[in-house]
């Protein structure tokens, strides 16, 4: 109990609201009692078989359903589930007012009945990620990644024994060996290569028709960011990078959690002849500023008519940010 009071006092005494929120969240991860107390009056993000619950407002835009713990408790009762399912909720963040945010997957319950009771629809993450705006898309992606990790981490890979989660869901411990497991992400480098005048975009055969993006690749064990970047560019398009700069990073939920580190890189115009590895990329090409600028100005493609060429990654993707930064830098 003393520890509970210490965490609450520590977070409320801090002058910065950001520091206060981070200390509050860390306290919830470290102390199961504090976390249980926070779960009793929290914001809840509901999922059904890893698809988030969305609601459409009068303007036709989508938002996550705004549910509180008490709403979910009533829902579980109405769906004939016992309230202990609530204990499977996973901590994902907190609001500006230090109100904890949790997510819960009710995949074992009737989807249609849950949708009717909540006035919403469970929408596949690939679709919902791009329907949501602002801070909601990354929060929902994080929630789904954590839920998926719990669903696939029930047993210890060393002993085969069950693992048990802490209340926040930030770790799992093997009941036999005590080995602690933490949620896993794969580091990926994504790079927009330029020769000064043009930028290099490529597409995999599995991409939607017309879509071109920056080059990307998973880090090999033991590699630095710069080693992955140089290796991927050499492997995929046969170029040698001269210099690079870091731009930004992003958690990317598809197909499984990746930690994307986004960079700009330059190659010499005298050595810009592409030698594409077609086992990795269906196509890779140099695009002029004008081609990229007009692709950026084309409204988002929604299917039906033929896609624009090139069709660029959507705003939520860090590849989009790299492309807009390159346009700004080359025009200034």
The residue among 169 and 217 lying less far from ligand NAD, judged by its C-beta, is 217
H helix runs in 152-272, sequence order: 225-237
Residue 222 C-beta: closest distance to Mg ion, Å: 19
Strands across the sheet containing 180-181? 163-165, 172-174, 180-181
- How many residues in the chain? 332
Task: Provide φ and ψ at 107, rounded to 5°.
Answer: -60, -20
CA 226 to chain centre: 23
Do 183 and 146 contact (CB within 8 A), yes or no? yes
CB nearer to ligand NAD: give 122 or 129: 129
Q: Which residue stretch of 115-123, 149-157, 240-248, 316-324 sits at the interface with ligand NAD (rule: CB under 6 A)? A: 316-324
Which residues, listed in sequence order, are joined to residue 17 by a DSSP beta bridge? none
Nearest in space to 44 (alpha carbons), one of 68, 16, 8, 74: 68
- Least distance in angstroms from the C-beta of 327 to ligand NAD: 16
Q: Could you tell which of ligand NAD, Mg ion, none binds residue 42, using a CB distance below 5 to 8 A set by kind? A: none
Q: Which two tokens stand for residue 41?
A: 């009056």
Instruction: Please identify the residue of the shown chain whose CB is closest to the bound Mg ion.
Output: 217
202 binds Mg ion (CB under 5 A): no
70: its two tokens: 């008490």
Cβ 256 to ligand NAD shortest distance, Å: 7
Do residues 172 and 165 make contact, with C-beta atoms less than 8 angstroms apart? yes
- Asked if 313 touches ligand NAD (CB under 6 A), the answer is yes
Q: How far is the CB of 202 from ligand NAD (least distance, A)?
A: 9
Question: Does residue 76 interact with ligand NAD by CB under 6 A?
Answer: no
Contact set for ligand NAD, span 258-297 (CB under 6 A): 258, 260, 280
Q: 């086992």: which residue's tokens? A: 279
246 is a contact residue toward ligand NAD (CB under 6 A): no
| Residue 52 binds: one of Mg ion, ligand NAD, none (C-beta under 5 to 8 A by kind) | none
Number of residues binding to Mg ion, judged by CB under 5 A: 2
Q: With H, G, I as helix, E, B as strand and everything else as coil, classify residue 277.
A: coil
CA angle in degrees (0–180, nearest 5) for 244-247-251: 125
Q: Could you tell me the two tokens for 152?
A: 């696939």
**Which of the residues 88 through 127 are near ligand NAD (CB under 6 A)?**
none
Pair of tokens at residue 159: 């002993």
Among 167, 319, 323, 326, the residue binding ligand NAD under the rule CB under 6 A is 319
The binder of 317, among ligand NAD, Mg ion, none, by C-beta within 5 to 8 A per type, is ligand NAD
Among 195, 191, 192, residue whose Cα is nearest residue 271: 195
* Coil, helix or strand at residue 238: coil
Separation of alpha carbons 26 and 115, rounded Å:
33
Query: Minimum distance from CB of 293 to ligand NAD (Å)?
Result: 19
Nearer to ligand NAD, 75 or 141 (CB): 141
Q: Is 137 in the site for ligand NAD (CB under 6 A)?
A: no
188 binds ligand NAD (CB under 6 A): yes
**Interacting residues with Mg ion (CB under 5 A):** 216-217
> Contact positions toward ligand NAD, by CB under 6 A?
186, 188, 190, 213, 216-218, 250, 252, 254-255, 258, 260, 280, 313, 317-319
């Amino acid at each position: 109990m003393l520890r509970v009071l210490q965490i609450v006092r520590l977070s409320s005494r801090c002058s910065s609201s950001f520091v206060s929120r981070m200390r509050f969240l860390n306290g919830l991860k470290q102390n199961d009692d504090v976390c249980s107390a926070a779960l009793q009056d929290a914001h809840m993000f509901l999922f059904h078989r890893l698809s988030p619950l969305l609601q459409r407002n009068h303007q036709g835009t989508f938002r996550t359903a705004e549910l509180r713990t008490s709403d979910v408790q009533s829902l579980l009762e109405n769906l004939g589930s016992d309230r202990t399912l609530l204990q499977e909720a996973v901590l994902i963040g907190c609001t500006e007012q230090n109100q904890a945010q949790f997510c819960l997957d009710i995949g074992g319950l009737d989807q249609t009945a849950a949708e009717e009771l909540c006035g919403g629809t469970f929408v596949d993450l690939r679709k919902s990620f791009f329907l949501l705006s602002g801070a909601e898309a990354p929060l929902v992606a994080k929630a789904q990644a954590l839920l998926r990790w719990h669903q696939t981490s029930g047993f210890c890979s060393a002993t085969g024994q069950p693992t048990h989660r802490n209340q926040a869901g930030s770790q799992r411990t093997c009941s036999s060996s005590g080995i602690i497991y933490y949620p896993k992400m794969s580091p990926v480098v994504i790079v927009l290569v330029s020769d000064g005048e043009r930028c290099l975009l490529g597409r995999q055969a599995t991409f939607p028709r017309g879509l071109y993006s920056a080059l990307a690749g998973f880090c090999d064990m033991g590699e630095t960011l710069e080693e992955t970047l140089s290796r991927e560019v050499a492997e995929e398009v046969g170029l040698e990078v001269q210099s690079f700069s870091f731009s930004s990073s992003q958690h990317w939920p598809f197909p499984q959690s990746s930690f994307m580190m986004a960079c700009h890189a330059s190659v010499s115009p005298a050595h810009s002849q592409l030698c594409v590895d077609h086992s990795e990329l269906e196509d890779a090409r140099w695009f002029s500023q004008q081609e990229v600028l007009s692709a950026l100005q084309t409204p988002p493609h929604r299917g039906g008519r033929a896609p624009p060429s090139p069709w660029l990654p959507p705003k939520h993707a860090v590849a989009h940010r790299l492309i807009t930064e390159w346009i700004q830098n080359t025009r200034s």
